[in-house]
A and B are shown apart, each in its own frame.
Chain A
Amino acid sequence: MNETVDMSVDFAGLELANPVFTASGTCGYADELADFMDMNALGGFITKSITRKPRKGNPTPRIVETDSGMLNAIGWANIGLERFIEEKLGILGSMSAAVFVNVAGASIGDYVSVVERLAGEEAITGFELNVSCPNVGQGGISFGTDAGQVAKVTAAVKKVLDSRFRGNDKDGRKVLMVKLSPCVTDISVTARAAVEAGADALSLINTFTAMVIDIEEREPVLANRTGGLSGPAIKPIAVYLVNKVYNEVAKKNGIPILGMGGIKTASDAIEFVVAGASAVAIGTWNFVEPGCAVKIVEGIKKYCADHNIKEIKELVGALKAG
């Protein structure tokens, strides 16, 4: 019965086997989850943030749990572009899932140089611009909450990609996705800025800036003082914001949304799809139940079969009008 459901997704011109991704920063660089799941069961995979130079990241404590969620302040700890190319591209190239590299930087030049270096790599399907990380001093959320900056960094990266693939060479063209911060008054403003500057896809939401206080010490638990709130606690807000961006920006521009924020079950994922996401990403729950992405793919399939939905695409934005 399940076999009759077409789970494939058209995502900015990519044909994905299914709509389930693992989200940046929760699934390592490549095959760290392979002990727990078949990586080829994924529709898409997003690497942790890659910066031009290696970064140690923030001091500890870097995480703290909250009711139904967690705060993290890792600070873009990563091995840097060169080691990433040397050690991880080979493994990424062997994966059947679409591979997005999450790119981060303190300046537009940083983003550009990472993308320039990776744009010709076959192993990579596209880029996710991290303009929404709340845990770094420069770049990150300071870009993502300013629509003008979002437009600038998106346009600069788009220019790099366009200059490499003039004409109709669609095969080698990389998909440009911009990851939006929810820490703004109106997320449609930044979404529109990204789309007008050339984004092929939008991913949302990144985490919410948040704080947990140790009341004995009367200081924040995290060494970075603040961190990004993720997990089931943020899911209903994420669903709302995906629906808002879908209605106000994405639908009319034909731009797909990768929806994320607190997904732990297939029903959670389906909410995002109904709200307007063409695909979904699993984040925090990879920590609790590594391998849950596979169960979520199966669960979505079962829901479709049970509801006589032949193609998952039918469900995208299927929310009834109010």
Chain B
Amino acid sequence: MTDNGAGSTKGVYEAVVCSNKQIGRSFYRLGLEFSSVGGKAFVEARPGQFAQLDLAAAPLPSAEAIPEGLADAARRGIILRRPFSFCDVVRKDRKTQVEILYCVVGPASLRMKGLSGGDKVSVIGPLGRGFSVAEKKRHALLVAGGMGAGPLVYLAKVLTGESSKMEVVVFAGARTREELPFRRPLDEISRQLGFSLGEFAEYGVKSQVATDDGTAGYEGLVTDCFSKWLGEQNLPARDTIVYACGPEAMLAQVAEIAKDRNIDCEVSMERRMACGIGLCQSCVVECKVEDSNESVYKLCCEDGPVFDSREVVFSS
């Protein structure tokens, strides 16, 4: 296992917005660039780690660009930072560029949508423990629910990096085709070959798509699609690892499937956070204590957000 980022230097950095693009109907990718200042740089962030963005000063989009359902949210003030993981990180010369996948759901993400090239954003990061990159395993299975695809795109890139012999497959689910947080689907030939999602195809990663309403790929839950696929393969459990990010009910199901087959599984959890740096104690995740019936609360921001799935007591 390589470094999961737990030891990296966190700090407060100023980032400059380099892009802010809409993807499909409801998703966006925000690009931020960090320059090294006085020898201190936003060091490489690991897949699954996150950053806290201060969006309070970001401009709201123009009145026409505010979705009808968010008219009230647009009138709300914000003070707290918001946590986001990275869907890409690139180190170039002495600069670091990161991309963040987001959708517009409330007062903070509305402001995020209002950001444009050259705007400055205060960022605290990189934070938390990311996914462990299990170099010794041969098969990595990525399960993404909705927005959970973000950090898994970056993970796919790292897992398939130079000298990697790992075979990676991603399972991406959403309620409808419209809610899949990806760019336009690839052409028919690519799709037949199993490269449905461009973000993953870029790294040579095959993908399976599931939608609740069947408007794209498998009709039903991504966990059913994943379970069915696993049943058809004959992967050696010891040589396989599952990485999942998405709604908690999905994570619980993936954890169960992995446990039944004795496959290692890491899940990226989500909690409301005030600080992201271990001060506020609000983002707790209930975890089992080994060899006992007891449980403890661990902090999503510092002990996670990525946890070994066997450890987590998922909330129902």
Contacts and interface: CB of A to CB of B under 8 A. Distances in A.
Interface of A: 25-28, 32-33, 35-36, 48, 56-57, 60-65, 67-70, 72, 74, 77, 231-232, 284, 286-291
Contacts of A62: 272, 281-284
Which residue, A57, A62, A286, has most C-beta atoms of chain B within 10 A? A62
B202 to A, nearest CB: 35
Given A57-B284, A70-B79, 11 more contacts: A25-B280, A27-B279, A32-B278, A56-B297, A60-B315, A61-B272, A64-B272, A77-B297, A231-B79, A288-B56, A288-B81
B77 A63 contact: no
Interface string B73-90: 000111111000000000
B11 interface: yes
B12 A36 contact: yes
Contact of B80 (A26, A65, A290): A65
B277 A72 contact: no
Nearest to A48: B281
A60 B124 contact: no
B279 A68 contact: no
B277 A290 contact: yes
A63 B76 contact: no
Main secondary structure of the interface of A (DSSP, over half): loop
B281 A57 contact: yes
B310 interface: no
A273 B316 CA distance: 48
Contacts of B99: none
B54 interface: yes
A32 B279 contact: yes
Which residue, A60, A74, A77, has most C-beta atoms of chain B within 10 A? A60
17 contacts: A26-B279, A28-B278, A32-B279, A35-B10, A48-B281, A57-B284, A61-B282, A63-B282, A65-B274, A67-B76, A69-B79, A72-B280, A77-B284, A286-B279, A287-B274, A289-B12, A290-B124
A61 B77 CA distance: 20
B76 A287 contact: no
B133 interface: no
B103 interface: no
A43 B145 CA distance: 48
Which residue, A25, A289, A290, has most C-beta atoms of chain B within 10 A? A290
B94 interface: no
